[in-house]
Amino acid sequence: MSQEKNNIQNNFDTSKLSWLKSGGSIEKLIKVKNENELLQIKNIDKFNIDKIIPIGNFSNLLINHKGYNGLALKLIGDFAKVQIKNNYILAGAGVIDSFFAQFCYRHKITGYEFLHTIPGSIGGNIFMNAGCYGSEIKDKLISVIYFDFSSFKIFEKNIESLNFSYRKGFQIKNTIILYGKFILEYGNQDSIKAKMKEYEEMRNSTQPQRVNCCGSIFKNPPGHNAWKLIKSSIDESFYQGPVKLSKKHSNFFENDPNINSDEIISFINQIKERVFNKHHIDLEPELEIK
């Protein structure tokens, strides 16, 4: 493969990247800078089309303690750039949300203020249709450019042909999201900054800060708030220990660094069990566990 050796790391300790400071190892982590390098992936030792996962900002992914026996791709270089075209924005999957929001602010582009508060990447947003404060990524998306590992070709699909819904975005098997094309709309820069500040203050007042945290643990079931279901189903012991619920928001947990990831997974399963026993509702995690 034409990539430099420092772009391929064996037995990578994911706790180094994870927002939770926890996680098992991945057999091989590969950093891909451009489309040419992506085409060379099939030449890598132990390439298996069914054993590939994308790595974004690692804010919403947890690897079990035994580790992941496969390849993880982290898109960098060309895939971490934002460009303004004639009538749209082209953002790489590796672009961090806060960077994208700041880019839009600097260029007086409105509609992306909500991304200022999401600790993910553009690829992760498109994968799960991320959103907050009344906005979702699907509302701003024109199309998705992706790579299909089955054919080793790049394709583009318009948002109209994609069935995005609450916390479910572009999730086509054996593909990786490369870019998103987004609506380009200019606005007042002071208003953009004010909205970003408003969202940041709302987040800081309702969510835990400066702790190991992955954001919301569970999706909100139809007609319910996950935090209310959790709070009414558990006792005070869930707010104590090396993995504990946040007293600021019961759908967030905090954990000690370098904790065994299986302890986090067990904690999540205990909450699911308590809520199901109390309300007969099966909570679905937002956190991706591999």
Is 269 exposed, middle or buried (CB count within 10 Å of its CB: 0-12, 13-18, 19+)? exposed
Going by C-alpha positions, the residue among 152, 149, 196 that lies closest to residue 174 is 149
Catalytically active residues, by annotation: 167, 216, 286
Pairing label, strands 61-62, 288-289: parallel
Residue with tokens 């030792």: 45
Going by C-alpha positions, the residue among 110, 127, 133, 190 that lies closest to residue 162 is 127
> What is the rounded CA–CA span in Å between residue 43 and residue 6?
17
Query: How would you label 41-52 residue by residue, b for 16+ Cβ within 10 Å and e otherwise?
Result: beeeeebeeeeb
Reported as type and span, the H/E element at residue 183 is: strand 175-183
Half-sphere CA count of 142, side-chain side, radius 13 A: 13
Going by C-alpha positions, the residue among 100, 103, 108 that lies closest to residue 190 is 108
Going by C-alpha positions, the residue among 184, 169, 84 that lies closest to residue 128 is 169
Q: At what angle do helices 189-206 and 97-106 cross, to 10 degrees?
A: 150
Give the SS3 label for residue 121. Answer: strand
> What is the rounded CA–CA span in Å between residue 181 and residue 153?
18
Distances (CA, A) of 173 to 62, 68, 114, 177: 20, 18, 28, 11
